[in-house]
Every structure is written in structure tokens, then in C-alpha cells.
Amino acid sequence: MSQITLTTLDGLKAKGEKITMLTCYDATFARAASEAGVEILLIGDSLGMVLQGHDSTLPVTNADMAYHTACVKRGNTGALVLADLPFMACATLEQAFANSAALMQAGAHMVKVEGAGWLSETIRLLAERGVPVCAHLGLTPQSVNVLGGYKVQGRLESQARQMLHDAIALQDAGAAMILLECVPSALGAEIAQALHVPVIGIGAGPSTDGQVLVLHDMLGLSLSGRVPKFVKNFMAGQPDIQSALRAYVNAVKNGSFPASEHGFNA
């Protein structure tokens, strides 16, 4: 795979070609996923749950994120590397600058922040300093205690309008990508259409510009045994992991994933 850049992703959105993203935490899977054609490798703070065994992402540190970002960088063969800023890593501008610098120096091409419109200043200042930012809206796992659990967001009309407003504001502040998690499919479609930057969905319906899943979920692995509605096991029926990764890429590209049963209504 030739090196995927933000320009590449903007071009895919413009052409209407779906973008593929998977979480990734080590060199071996980084090589496998990038060779299968996955365009974005997300070092998610989900590693706190799937690798470390925590019951949320909150215990993950920026040092954890930098370590796994460096591991992914070593195995990657051309995908864009996106790394999460973990819980409270951008509580102040100074923290956002220092923690983003650590992740970029570890090998990230872009960082991801969870929040809403209040992140505008942080995103603008990071982008001005050479740090591309993906803004994560909808269900933001770092705020699970405020949200009252892992629930679909944006079902009320007022919530949907606010999320659209926030997405536009963050794009205007300099966000180069938006990630929507667990929102009604119609809202995912509306936000993707309203923005000129790529909008990646997870449980946000089929009309976003791309899709992301947690690697362990799409391989049929789960510590809890609970499988989210938006997950499909791509390991089923495949002879090996590499084939499952290619099946995921093909399904996103041809529009067969996500299907209607993987989305949410308002």
C-alpha cells in the first residue's frame, strides 16, 4: 500500500469511496491490517479493555498510548496512524500540546480527541502547530460516567441538532476528520453530507464516509461476551485472520457492511 495521507482520505470522500479503519495495538496486526488494505490504523484507548482487562477506557495513560503507537508504527506498511488522546490528556491546552507531541513523536500521523464543541480552541491550536486532529462525537467512552452508560446518542431532535452544530464547529476549527459513535443512522448520514472532511462511523449507519470497528470485535473475540449491535464477526467462515481482514475491507468498500441491522433508529 502506498502511504495513506489526509489528502488520500479527502480524495476518497470526494469520489464516494468508503474508507476503512480498524483499531490496532501491535506491530504484527499493524502489518496484517495495512497489507489487507485498511487505510487507517487507530490505536484506540479501547486497549484498556481488550488488552489490559479494565472495565472502561479511563485507566489508560498517555504513556500506554505512546508505547502502542510506536509498536504499530513499526509494523505498518502504509496506513495512516491515528492515536487516541486518553482520559484527561487534553484537559488543559498545555496537556493537549504535550500529550499530542508524545503521540506524534511515537509515530502517529494524527490524534483523536473525545468531546464536543468545547474542543474547538484545542483543535484549532493543535492544527496550527502541525498536529492533525480527529474529533470523536456521539457516544464518547471517556465520558461514560456522565452519559450514564454506553447508550445511543442524538436520538432527541435537540441532541441531533446540537451534534450537527458541534461537528460543523469542530471542522471549522480545523478538525481533519470526525468519528461518530452510536448515533442514529439518519443523523450519521446528515452529518457526513454536511461536512467536507471525512466522517467515519461506528454504529452510525451505512452513509458515513467510512467505518471503524475494534479489531478484537471483528475477529469474534470478546472478554465480556456482550457483542454490540454494530459489530459483525468477520472471522466467521474465513480460513485465517488475513482473510477476515480482507473480508472486512471488501464489505466496507462494497457497502455490504454495515447493514441495516447494525444501525440505530432515532
**Binding site listing for Mg(2+):** 45, 84, 114
Q: Which residues are annotated as a binding site for 3-methyl-2-oxobutanoate?
A: 45-46, 84, 112
Give strand pairing partners of 133. Answer: 111
Dmax (CA) for the chain in angstroms is 48
Residue 208 has φ and ψ, to the nearest 5°, of -70, 170
The reply to whether 181 belongs to the active site is yes
Q: Which of 128, 181, 190, 261 is catalytic?
A: 181
Report the first-to-last Cα separation within the chain, whole angstroms: 38
Q: What is the DSSP letter of 179?
A: E
Report the relative pairing of strands 210-213 and 110-114 from DSSP bridges: unpaired
Report CA torsion sign: 172, 2, 43, 231. Answer: positive
Distance from chain centroid for Cα 245? 17
3-state secondary structure of 115: coil
CB contact set of 187 (below 8 Å; sequence gap of 6+)? 154, 160, 163, 164, 180, 204, 205, 266
Q: Which residues are annotated as a binding site?
A: 45-46, 84, 112, 114
Rounded CA separation 263/89 (Å): 30
Alpha carbon distances (Å) from 146 to 149, 182, 260: 8, 16, 29
Burial 181-205 (b: 16+ CB within 10 A, else e): bbbbbbbbbbbbeebebbbbbbbbb
Residues labelled catalytic: 181
